[in-house]
Amino acid sequence: MKMRNQCNYFKVLILCILAASTHAQLELGFYTKSCPKAEQIVANFVHEHIRNAPSLAAALIRMHFHDCFVRGCDASVLLNSTNQQAEKNAPPNLTVRGFDFIDRIKSLVEAECPGVVSCADIIALSARDSIAATGGPYWKVPTGRRDGVVSNLLEANQNIPAPFSNFTTLQTLFANQGLDMKDLVLLSGAHTIGISLCTSFSNRLYNFTGKGDQDPSLDSEYAKNLKTFKCKNINDNTTIVELDPGSRNTFDLGYYSQVVKRRGLFESDSALLTNSVTKALVTQFLQGSLENFYAEFAKSIEKMGQIKVKTGSQGVIRKHCALVNN
């Protein structure tokens, strides 16, 4: 009896130590003492500017996703190439926009408290604030992330799912980040806003298996429309298409309704129907309320925002988000 209690005690102790060392360091209001106005500066800037450029919200949440999936949420996505090609140069990247927006917030925050607030926190906060400003979900962003000093194109290609990823690949890449199938379905739900270049999916319309064929998992009526009015040939690398047509700035259930109609734009969207668990989740979210989707989405993106974060004495606070301090 005594043995068993001791054993339980040690188990709890070990669990506590593990918990503390893995994700206890981010905290809500981390800058309350060191830079009390920091989070408000970000929120004010976002609210002032997103009204005139609502499409930036999509760019910023996607930037947050790409950042977190490569070396953790450490703003490595913002680094310029030096002697090695940076993550930002990985294809398809033409709609990874908003670098300038982040730079402008960073300079306001630096003017208030030099060298205190990380670029990684600015990405996480501005993604949340911009989605909220467009009327979408709101989630908690504990802060205290520190910035990385390495950005590598190869690692971006290895870790960020491609539009042609199948279900197995998606599941693996998400699992590598500690995210499960429910997170995959919820976070993919961000494709309810934003745009894509034709090049990210035109193989589905024109040359799916190299025989000049179409992807049978894409609704043929929709494919015909895209070919007639949007992506007129396989080489079109300039036309943009809304991921959720008609409501590209509205964070609604439109993505799930597209997916069940076999109108998800990417193979990765269609792939959610190829697994019984994710297929059921897509239907469940579509049939549930918007509030339920927002609440569940918030939980998943809070999880995403904690991926392999650098805290305490790890990493640095970069002075300029595109450059390593010298």
Ligand X SMILES: *[C@@H]1O[C@H](CO)[C@@H](O)[C@H](O)[C@H]1NC(C)=O
- Residues with catalytic function: 66
- What is the spatial distance between Cα 243 and Cα 230, in angstroms, rounded to a whole number? 12
| Number of amino acids touching ligand X (CB under 6 A) | 17
The interface partner of residue 210, options being ligand X, ligand HEM, none and the CB cut-off 5 to 8 Å by kind, is: ligand X
170 touching ligand HEM, by CB under 6 A: yes
Binding residue for ligand X (CB under 6 A) from 89, 157, 220, 289?
89
70 is in an annotated binding site: yes
User: Which residues from 263-322 bind ligand HEM, rule CB under 6 A?
Assistant: 266, 268
- What is the spatial distance between Cα 148 and Cα 75, in angstroms, rounded to a whole number? 7
166 touching ligand X, by CB under 6 A: yes
Identify residue 235 by its one-letter amino acid code.
Answer: N
Q: What's the gap between Cα 17 and its chain centre?
A: 29
The interface partner of residue 89, options being ligand HEM, ligand X, none and the CB cut-off 5 to 8 Å by kind, is: ligand X
Cα-Cα-Cα-Cα dihedral sign, residues 141, 142, 143, 146? negative
Strand partners, 27: 143
User: Which residues from 31-60 bind ligand HEM, rule CB under 6 A?
Assistant: 55, 58-59
**DSSP 3-state of 27:** strand
Nearer to ligand X, 168 or 287 (CB): 168
210 touching ligand X, by CB under 6 A: yes
First and final C-alpha spacing in the chain: 59
Per CB under 6 A, the segment of 17-25, 70-78, 84-92, 176-184 that binds ligand X is 84-92
94 touching ligand HEM, by CB under 6 A: yes
78 touching ligand X, by CB under 6 A: no
Helix ranges (H only) for 118-201 are 119-133, 153-159, 167-175, 181-188
The interface partner of residue 169, options being ligand HEM, ligand X, none and the CB cut-off 5 to 8 Å by kind, is: ligand X
User: What is the full DSSP assignment across 74-128?
Assistant: SSGGGPPPSSS--GGGSSS-TT---HHHHHHHHHHHHHHSTTTS-HHHHHHHHHH
- What is the spatial distance between Cα 198 and Cα 297, in angstroms, rounded to a whole number? 27
Query: Which token pair is 311?
Result: 């805290």
**DSSP 3-state of 167:** helix
237 touching ligand X, by CB under 6 A: yes
Shortest CA distance to 60 belongs to which of 113, 117, 9, 133?
Answer: 133
The interface partner of residue 234, options being ligand HEM, ligand X, none and the CB cut-off 5 to 8 Å by kind, is: ligand X
Binding letters toward ligand HEM, positions 218-257, x by CB under 6 A: -------------------------x--------------
Find out whether the peptide bond into 92 is cis, omega within 30 degrees of 0. yes
CB of 170 to ligand HEM, least distance (A): 5
- What is the spatial distance between Cα 169 and Cα 172, in angstroms, rounded to a whole number? 5
Strand partners, 197: 240
Binding residue for ligand HEM (CB under 6 A) from 44, 85, 159, 165?
165
Residue corresponding to tokens 């400003």: 133
CB of 25 to ligand X, least distance (A): 29
Q: Which residues are annotated as a binding site for heme b?
A: 191
**Positions in the binding site for ligand HEM (CB under 6 A):** 55, 58-59, 61-62, 65, 92, 94-95, 97, 161-163, 165, 170, 187-188, 190-191, 193-197, 200, 243, 266, 268
Known binding-site positions for substrate: 161
Contact set with ligand X (CB under 6 A): 80, 88-89, 91, 93, 166, 168-169, 207, 210, 212, 234-235, 237, 320, 322-323
